[in-house]
Amino acid sequence: MPLWVELLFRVGGVLVAFLTLPLLVGQAEHKIMAHMQGRLGPMYAGAFHGWAQLIADGVKFVQKEEVTPRGADRPVFRLAPVVALVPYLLVLLVIPLGPGDLVAQPLDIGLFFVLAVVGVGVVAVLMSAWASANKYSLLGGLRAAAQLLGYELPFVLAAASVAMAAGTLSLPGIVEAWQPWWLLWQAPAMIVFFVAGLAEIRRPPFDMPIADSELVFGYLTEYTGLRFALFLLAEYVGVVVIAALTTVLFLGGWQGPFADAQLGWLWTLLKVAAVSFVIIWFRVSYPRLRADQLQRLCWLVLVPASLAQLVLTVTVRMAL
């Protein structure tokens, strides 16, 4: 197969995943939240249990008028939703779905690339907050910046622990080095990574930057129509990315109870779906954290736990 054809095939597969998996997660969230809260949820669009609700929402957003505030910095205001989306697309390019060639672009420093790119999310938040010329948006943006910059540290330290255990920064290499007993001694790192990842994508209970009861809708207050939909899409893509990274780094990726490598992609998708379910469960179960609670959790719990996990990893590696 010519190189350009293979490249097109790989990028096309990532684009399909980029556009479909967030919709599936969003639809699942509608239904899971409805059942957990004892209600029906959307039932009419698409007839069968409202399966086409998110498609209907997308059509609705496209039809809405695009409104830009008079005092806004128009180029930055319009570019912010794109900056929020692109990092997640780049991350999906290096996440392995299965063994061998089931990754769009394998990198020897894949983990370093992922951590660097995910950190760009704070730029999109600050762009939208500052360019909106709205006090609620600015307050939400400052909250988001404090939250993202704080939780970036335990997020990186937890990922460094598993990379140190595997002896490589390659995501496929980490999966190949993974052993089932890692579920025990890397469990603290997994919990820290997962919680910090939720804070990075600003999912409840870490949604303080868009607290509707305090800030209208935070840095998203002035966004309408398709641009608002792009921010929502970025949130659900973020759910997929955090679930996929947790799967690859801590849950063995494509490794399953059976030795059939051809089913590796299925194990990866099942684990991603299970972690996504837990993320939705957190949204339903826990109230929003206050600013002081959020920072206390980061600096007094997650950072010490991630540092202790690094010490444990070094000790175990030296003993082995």
Of the segments 106-110, 145-149, 310-314, which one has the largest average pLDDT value?
310-314
Position of tokens 């290096």? Answer: 94
Average pLDDT across the chain, whole number: 85
Q: How far apart are CA 316 and CA 37, in angstroms?
A: 44
pLDDT tier at 193, thresholds 50, 70, 90:
very high
Report which of residues 1 and 279 the model is more confident about.
Answer: 279
pLDDT, tens digit, 9 for 90 and up, residues 106-115: 788 889 999 9
Residue 30 token pair: 């509608």
Tally of structural domains, the chain? 1
Instruction: Return all residues near 310 (Cβ < 8 A) that are at least 6 apart.
Output: 157, 160, 161, 164
Rounded mean pLDDT, 81-98: 88
Q: Residue 313 sits in which domain range?
A: 3-319
Torsion-angle region of 46 (φ positive above 0: left; ψ -120 to 50: alpha; else: beta): left
In terms of C-beta density within 10 A (0-12 exposed, 13-18 middle, 19 or more buried), how is residue 288 classed? Answer: middle
Dihedral sign from CA coordinates of 302, 305, 311, 316: negative
Q: How far apart are CA 309 and CA 314, in angstroms?
A: 9
Instruction: Return all residues near 265 (Cβ < 8 A) that are at least 6 apart.
Output: 97, 98, 102, 254
Residue type, 21: L
pLDDT, tens digit, 9 for 90 and up, residues 199-238: 988 888 888 888 777 777 778 888 888 888 888 888 889 9
What per-residue confidence (pLDDT) applies to 259? 58
Total Cβ atoms within 10 A of residue 118: 25
What per-residue confidence (pLDDT) applies to 225? 81
Rounded mean pLDDT, 157-164: 92
Of the segments 65-74, 84-93, 205-214, which one has the largest average pLDDT value?
84-93
Residue 11 token pair: 């990028």
Q: How far apart are CA 293 and CA 27, in angstroms?
A: 31
pLDDT, tens digit, 9 for 90 and up, residues 258-273: 656 667 788 889 999 9
pLDDT tier at 308, thresholds 50, 70, 90:
very high
Among residues 268, 273, 263, 265, the alpha carbon closest in space to that of 252 is found at 268
With 80 as the cut, is the pLDDT of residue 139 above it?
yes
In terms of C-beta density within 10 A (0-12 exposed, 13-18 middle, 19 or more buried), how is residue 193 classed? Answer: buried
What per-residue confidence (pLDDT) applies to 250? 92
